[in-house]
Each structure stands twice: as C-alpha cells, then as structure tokens.
Structure 1
Amino acid sequence: MSGPRDLNGRAVTPGRWERLRNRLPGGARGHDPLDVAEADLVVVAESDDEAAASSSVLDASDWRPDDEVVLRHVLRLPGDRVADAVATAALDGYGRVDQARPDERASDTVTLGLARVQLLDAMHLAQERSRMASLGSRHGGVVLRWQVLQRPVAG
C-alpha cells in the first residue's frame, strides 16, 4: 500500500496543486507512505473490551489524529474459515498480518491479525470494529482486540 489513505482506507490521489508543490524544492511532505509491515510502529491505542467506546479509548491514548495509522484487528477463527475471512477482508483493503502463537497452531482455531493503513477518527474506528465483529461472527469466530499503530514521535 503506498500513498496517503482516507478514513475508509482508500488511496487518495493528490490533486494538481499538491503534485506541483511536491515538485518544488522543499515542497515534498518528507516522509514515506505508511506500511502495515513496518517494524518500528508502536501501539498508540488498543482495546480488548467490545463494549468500550472508540472515542473514549482514543481520547485516553497517544493517538495523533492528523497522522495515518495502521488499524489492526486480532481475530480467532476456525482454521478452515481463515482463507475465506481473509479474502472477504481484502475487499476492504485489509491484509493478513501473522498473529499466530505456537500453542494455537496445533488447535482447530487460528489467531490472526487483519490490518490496513488509513486516517482515523472515532466514528470510522467504530465502523471498522463493527465490520470486523460481523466478519468474525459470519466465519464462526470472534474479535479478540483492536489496535491503532503509528510511527514513533520523532525527537
């Protein structure tokens, strides 16, 4: 995934003015696009409480609303339903990030993470939490937690 993302995780095409400004010396934004696989990302907000309000968790966190995030959901699904769930999540721009633990690989359930890059606000976080709860339920599983990851603050 490259380039900036909107609140729904879709790539945003820069306008003519932004493309022109980026060509000028010192006009480029100066940072690489965020990627779900970056090793230095830090969890700035998370919850395993399905009843916790997204706005409350974000308000009490170190989340920076103007910066893109990696939104990661951790689900436990029956092993034979994982491929279908991952394919369904991919329709909304989510990709699988491995969360499996050695003790779970021998059982009939799999713990996996689904993540994508996007801008975030409380309403869209609540929407994505609901979407993942529905995905988990339709595939015979549950959502264990969600996490918001961002690059560490420079300095």
Structure 2
Amino acid sequence: MKVKSWWRRMLGRGGTTELDPARPDLVVVASSFDDAEACSAALGKALDWTPDHPVVLRHHLRVPADRVNAVQVIAAQDGYDTGSRSDTDPVKLVLQRVQILDALHCSQERSRMAGLAQRHDGDVLGWDALQPAAPGR
C-alpha cells in the first residue's frame, strides 16, 4: 500500500488521506485567480505553504446548472469531490482533492479543470490550496 501512495504523490494524483478537507483549522496558503499567473509564481509568493505536506487543492469553476452533474462525475474520476456549490445559474462550483502540491502538478490540474469547464460551457475562476494553520498564526 505504501508503494501505491508513493506513486500517487509522485504523479500528483489525489488519494492522500493524511488531511481531512473538513478540518476547521484549514487556511488558504496559496492561490491564483489570474489566468495569466503561472502556478510557479503563485506558489513562489506563498509564505505559509509547506511544500512536502498535503494540501486541499480547490478549483473554483462556473458552469451552467444543467452541466454541474456531468462535471462532477468527470472530476470524481480524478479523485475530486464537490467542496461547495451555489444555487445560482451559472453555478459556482468548487472541486477539491487532497494531494501534495508542486508547480508542475498544479499547472496540470489547472489545465485539466480549464478543459473540463470549457467542454461544459463554463469557465475556471481560479484555484487555491489549504493547509492547517501554523501555530501562532
């Protein structure tokens, strides 16, 4: 089982269970809501991010209400759960999963989410990463 976990971390895939996305002490440690900003730049200015610890990576999308279920089903195949969704149309949908984060995998997931949203007549608003608050913060 350790080998599978190691491979998932190396490939940036979800499945890490070391961090509960429902923890009340999670805070945003890195984010980007600018299409032109590279993940490496966003992570480079993240002050409280601990790179070798798992994060809850959240992608914020806006999709037509009648496409939400299809988007959720496809995202679930890559280990994403629905973190939240609005009752508006278009729906503001947050897809999340726990993973080790680095610039390469962040960029790949960002691109994957952009393609998913675009195929369903939606768009991506941005992404953020959460980790437990450091003591003293």
**Structure 2 length-normalised TM:** 0.86
**Which of the two has greater strand per residue?**
2
- Determine the C-alpha separation between the residues in 2 that align with 1:134 and 1:92: 14
> Which deviations, in whole Å up to 9, do the C-alpha atoms of 1:77-133 show, x marking residues without a partner?
000000000000000000001142xxxx3x431001000000011000000000000
The alignment of Structure 1 onto Structure 2 pairs a total of residues equal to 127
Does 2:72 correspond to 1:86?
yes
Q: Does structure 1 retain, via aligned residues, the 8 Å contact 2:60–2:124?
A: yes
Q: Does structure 1 retain, via aligned residues, the 8 Å contact 2:13–2:79?
A: no
Name which one, 1 or 2, has greater alpha-carbon Rg: 1
Paired amino acid for 2:35: E
Q: Flag as ranges the 4+ runs of structure 1 deviating above 4 A.
A: none
Aligned to 2:111, what secondary structure does the other structure show? helix
1:33 Cα deviation from its structure 2 partner: 2.3
Question: Which of 41, 47, 68 is the equivalent residue of 1:56?
Answer: 41
Aligned to 2:134, what secondary structure does the other structure show? coil
Give the equivalent residue in structure 1 for 2:97: 116
What is the identity percentage for the equivalent residue pairs of Structure 1 and Structure 2? 51
Aligned to 2:73, what secondary structure does the other structure show? helix
Give the equivalent residue in structure 1 for 2:116: 135
Give the equivalent residue in structure 2 for 1:153: 134
Give the equivalent residue in structure 2 for 1:74: 60
> Which deviations, in whole Å up to 9, do the C-alpha atoms of 1:7-35 show, x marking residues without a partner?
22244xxxxxxxxxxxxxxxxxxxx8202
